[in-house]
Homo-oligomer: A and B are copies of this chain.
Amino acid sequence: MDINYVSSLLKEFKAGGLSLDEALEKLKILPYEDLEFAKLDHHRLLRQGFAEVVFCQGKTVAQVLAIMDRLAAYNRNILATRATPEMYEAVKNSMPDAKYHELARLIAIERQPPPADQDRVILVMSAGTSDIPVAEEAAVTAEMMGNVVRRVYDVGVAGIHRLLDQRKLIEDANVLIVVAGMEGALVSVVGGMAAKPVIAVPTSIGYGANFGGLSALLSMLNSCAAGIGVVNIDNGFGAGRLASIINHMR
């Protein structure tokens, strides 16, 4: 981040050469910090309401550490996804308040949790026990972004009464995240039960012709229930982020 740029910008604002709106606008768009192997978008917090999230897959431990270190200098809450235990070890040494959500493979630093509206609940549902890691990635992401999250796991449609039993929870929720592998039918049944935004997350759980989650993905895209937005296979983070954006709308 070019500190000089921001300085001069702020001085100009103080001197009246920039209105408040103009200054905010400029801050929203420009600066980032260049680490050579990464360009940190420090002002994403302003533009998108949450700091840049580190996608760890394919990065070296050293890269993850350096990026989180720099993000920590400008933000109070930081999230890293698809993190290995080894990455967590390195991060914890440098930032002892980092927490590791093992199932969800998330590293989280939460120094000043954002406030959450208790009346607007995000409900995370999973079809099976095996889908829980992805569901947790979604749930923890949404919590860190300032949302109240409720979880209902293992309510797949083969035992429809388990699902119908959750009708009250579904009606009380503001946004639904539905996580399912295999044939992903849970999404269609839930989608037909309520007029709420449903975010569908296909998982790679299953075997044979599920082809790494393709079966659930195609199912969800082709759902006979309208009002469903689908994210990538196993992309709990994306679902949590989208749910949070919707949930913060006024």
Contacts and interface: CB of A to CB of B under 8 A. Distances in A.
Interface of A: 29-30, 32, 36-39, 41, 44, 47-49, 53, 55, 57-59, 63, 67, 82, 127-133, 153-162, 164-165, 174, 181-185, 187-189, 191-197, 199, 202, 204-235, 237-238, 241-242, 245-246, 249-250
B59 A183 contact: no
A183 B128 CA distance: 18
Number of chain copies forming the complex: 8
25 contacts: A29-B161, A44-B159, A48-B195, A57-B130, A58-B128, A59-B130, A82-B207, A128-B224, A157-B157, A157-B189, A158-B223, A159-B192, A160-B192, A183-B185, A184-B219, A189-B189, A197-B242, A209-B221, A211-B212, A221-B233, A227-B242, A229-B242, A230-B231, A246-B249, A249-B249
Contacts of A164: 160
B226 A53 contact: yes
A238 B227 contact: yes
Contacts of A30: 161, 165
A28 B156 CA distance: 17
A229 to B, nearest CB: 2
Given A183-B224, A185-B223, A206-B222, 18 more contacts: A39-B155, A47-B195, A55-B128, A59-B130, A157-B189, A183-B219, A183-B223, A184-B219, A185-B188, A197-B229, A209-B233, A215-B221, A222-B232, A226-B242, A227-B238, A229-B231, A230-B230, A246-B246
A189 B217 contact: no
A197 B231 CA distance: 13
B224 A36 contact: no
B195 A245 contact: yes
Contacts of A174: 249
